[in-house]
Amino acid sequence: MKELEILSGKPYKVYIDNDLDKLSKVLEEHKIKHKARFYLLTDDKVYELYKDKIEKFKDIFKVEIYYFNNGEKSKNYNTVKDIYSFLIEKNANRNSILIALGGGVVGDLGGFVASTYMRGIKYINIPTTLLSQVDSCIGGKVGYNFNGVKNIIGNFYNPEFVYISTNFLKTLDKKQFVDGLGEVIKYSLIKEGTMISYLRENSKGILERENDKMLYLVKNCLKIKKDIIEEDYKDLGIRNILNFGHTVGHGLEITSNGDLSHGEAVALGSLVALKLSEDILALDKGIYKEVEEVLNKLNLPTKHKVDNYKLFMYSINHDKKNDEDLNFVLLNKIGDPKIRTKVSKEQLYSALNNSINKGE
């Protein structure tokens, strides 16, 4: 079992393995006794997939279970309110422990509820999707969407620990698995190294979810994020580089009406950001072609037409990183991102039309 220690905010460990067998050992290491009162939060899809494991966990520990409808549409205040009601009904107190078992939506909602219920209770994050395992499971950002704006309500709150089992990835459907690869692409661009070459050369094994490939991607992405968030936990400076591809990506995700997953939208947003980087920072044009080739190999989209520009710009204008101007993370070169780069609407439209809109 591999371990990472995250030294941002309240320090915590990340355990990376290919099964759940060592979870009991980790609970003992953290002096979390079987007598503790557990509340397991998940979604209906994860619950059905892992019902036997969840029920087994229920037999070992005293745990109450709550699940909600799978998907981004559940990431709202109504779901948060329902979880609060469940915790109150089941007599959760300051000594209770919330376990978030699921993808990024479950982790974000579980973390937010834990941070606010009785002014803060302990929680454990067990991410089950590639997207959550390589990205959202660490960093402390928790929250929900409001009025069509992603993650506009939120907090910074760390778990007691994160336990990752790459075995969960075997049960993801194709779209959900590929979704996580969009964030992997981001990490391969913001940090200098060999990850982009690794993705190109190992695309077949990655798509077949070979265990060594999954462990490599999870560990390397989290190591990159760990270094960044330890330097800038509250997202006031360098941590902005983690938003590469996300400004346009969030707009695409909202306007696609659910057709694009978060990771697919980030992959497309990354292409737009690369085109803007060519126009504004003179980025080598060969990088765009290389990334486009890798996206094709990994079954990620490279073309998408924006149909609702009004909603698209509304989402971008309300992005937390923007003020009066549009602020983008762009690249001088691979591994050398530039934060808060001013981009005009005209430059954005031109980049869209010369990248993902081209040929649509």
In this structure, the answer to whether residues 86 and 6 fall within a common structural domain is yes
Whether residue 162 contacts residue 247, with contact meaning beta carbons closer than 8 Å, is answered with: no
The upper half-sphere exposure of residue 159, i.e. CA atoms within 13 Å in the direction of its Cβ, equals 29
The share of the chain scoring above pLDDT 90, in percent, equals 78
pLDDT digits (tens, 9 = 90+) for 256-304: 888 899 999 999 999 999 999 999 999 999 999 999 999 999 999 999 9
Rounded to whole angstroms, the Cα distance separating 360 from 291 reads: 19
Q: How confident is the model at residue 55 (pLDDT cuts 50, 70, 90)?
A: confident
Please give the average per-residue pLDDT across 47-59, as a whole number.
85
6 in a structural domain: yes
In this structure, the answer to whether residues 139 and 264 fall within a common structural domain is no
pLDDT of 20 reads 84
In this structure, the answer to whether residues 117 and 204 fall within a common structural domain is no
Which of the pair, 148 or 78, is modelled with greater confidence?
78
pLDDT of 344 reads 92
Q: How confident is the model at residue 322 (pLDDT cuts 50, 70, 90)?
A: low
Count of structural domains within the chain: 2
- Return the CATH number at 254: 1.20.1090.10
358 in a structural domain: no
pLDDT of 40 reads 96
In this structure, the answer to whether residues 122 and 219 fall within a common structural domain is no
In this structure, the answer to whether residues 105 and 178 fall within a common structural domain is no
**CA angle at 295 for the pair 289 and 301, rounded to the nearest 5°:** 110
5 pLDDT above the threshold of 80: yes
Q: In terms of residue numbers, what domain contains 201?
A: 174-353
pTM of the model: 0.92
Beta strands in 33-170 (DSSP E): 38-43, 63-68, 97-102, 122-127, 141-146, 149-156, 161-165
In this structure, the answer to whether residues 148 and 225 fall within a common structural domain is no
360 in a structural domain: no
In this structure, the answer to whether residues 213 and 340 fall within a common structural domain is yes
| Cα 292 to the center of its chain, rounded Å | 21
DSSP 182: H
In this structure, the answer to whether residues 154 and 254 fall within a common structural domain is no
In this structure, the answer to whether residues 17 and 71 fall within a common structural domain is yes
Q: How confident is the model at residue 156 (pLDDT cuts 50, 70, 90)?
A: very high
Rounded to whole angstroms, the Cα distance separating 129 from 103 reads: 5
Rounded to whole angstroms, the Cα distance separating 83 from 312 reads: 31
Whether residue 150 contacts residue 80, with contact meaning beta carbons closer than 8 Å, is answered with: no
Rounded to whole angstroms, the Cα distance separating 145 from 107 reads: 14
In this structure, the answer to whether residues 305 and 200 fall within a common structural domain is yes
